[in-house]
Amino acid sequence: MTTNFFGDTAVLLGRSLRHITRSLDTVITTTVMPIAFLLLFVYVFGGAIDTGSDSYVTYLLPGILLITIASGIAYTAYRLFLDRQSGIFERFQSMPIARSSVLWAHVLTSLVANLTSIVVVVLVALLIGFRSAAGVPAWLAVAGILILFTLALTWLAVIAGLSAKTVDGASAFSYPLIFLPFISSAFVPTHSMPGPVRAFAENQPVTSIVNTIRDLFTQQPVSTDIWIALGWCLGILVLAYVLAMAAYHRKIG
């Protein structure tokens, strides 16, 4: 079985990547909202927000990238749900293939689709004045954190896609994730928030991830935030993976 794992995953990955390239509108809808937030906050609200940094675009971008990923993974859940609905999921499960390759194909597709969206959003940010003098190692670190974050949320999406009963249910789980950056250091510094909100904002995953990416972009020394960020991402990833696999084994009997 495991001997076929990579081959089967590659074949199924080819299939779902075709779904992406043939419905590019999903990449567009994934990026429209984050780009709208980016423009809204830079050109409308940004003037009234004092972040203490030179460029609000640069301050804002890390949070916008996380929102991009959070809205992108909704499609992962959606595609998995459609596979279950259409019966093709059962067809794959009744075939002599490495069974987990069905999930891995969706996970890798999610990674490719989200990284594409990220590139689009970063290009828009560059157009409206985002600049970073960060070197290759810093960019690689940013990419690594974003990939880890995408994988963590993708496995959450797999749980939703496997257990949802309706199409709406399959994507609704992502709304709180999209909203989470608003109550973090992504848009405004947390010290302006009232006590309990500030406590929440400073101790939820987004803040540490945003702070780390921001430090990397602005060539500041990264604080201990990077360890907290990695801890959150890995923790969510492992937990979501275990739960997703449990849901999968319940599903395929």
Partner 1 sequence: MTSQHVQAIHVHGLEKSYKKLKVLRGVDFDVAPGSIFALLGSNGAGKTTVVKILSTLLKADAGTATVNDFDVASHPANVRESISLTGQFAAVDEILNGRENLVLVAKLRHLKDPGAIADDLLRRFSLSDAAARRVSTYSGGMRRRLDIAMSLIGSSPIIFLDEPTTGLDPEARIEVWQAVKELTEQGTTVLLTTQNLDEAEQLADRIAILHQGRIIVNGTLAELKRLLPPATVEYVQKQPTLEDVFFAIVGSQGDDVAGDDHGNARMDN
Interacting residues with partner 1 (CB under 8 A):
1, 4, 7-8, 11-12, 15, 18-19, 22-23, 86-88, 90-97, 252-253
Q: What does the block give as tokens for 146?
A: 């974003």
- Least spacing, CB of residue 11 vs partner 1, in Å: 5
Q: Report how far residue 248's alpha carbon sits from residue 103's, in angstroms, rounded to the nearest whole number.
A: 9
Q: How far is the CB of 25 from partner 1 (least distance, A)?
A: 12
Rounded to the nearest whole angstrom, what is the least distance from the CB of residue 146 to partner 1 in the complex?
Answer: 27
Q: Which contacts (CB < 8 Å, 24+ apart) does range 185-189 have?
A: 185/63, 185/210, 185/211, 186/60, 186/62, 186/63, 186/64, 186/66, 186/210, 187/41, 187/49, 187/60, 187/63, 188/49, 188/51, 189/51, 189/52
CA distance 2 to 100: 10
How would you class 224 by CB atoms within 10 Å of its CB: exposed for 0-12, middle for 13-18, buried for 19 or more? exposed
Residue 86 vs 220, nearer CB to partner 1: 86
Q: How far is the CB of 193 from partner 1 (least distance, A)?
A: 45
Could you give the angle at the alpha carbon of 27 between the alpha carbons of 8 and 188, nearest 5°? 120
Residue number with CB closer to partner 1 (102 or 213): 102
Report in angstroms how near the CB of residue 2 gets to partner 1 at its nearest.
11
Question: Which of 86/224 has CB closer to partner 1?
Answer: 86
Q: Judged by CB, which is closer to partner 1: 18, or 191?
A: 18
Of 24 and 36, the one with the shorter C-beta distance to partner 1 is 24
Using the minimum distance from each CB to partner 1, give the nearer residue, 58 or 100. 100
Residue among 120, 160, 133 nearest 217 (CA): 133
Per-state percent for the chain, helix, strand, coil, to nearest 5: 80, 0, 20
Output the smallest distance, CB 101 to partner 1, in A. Answer: 9
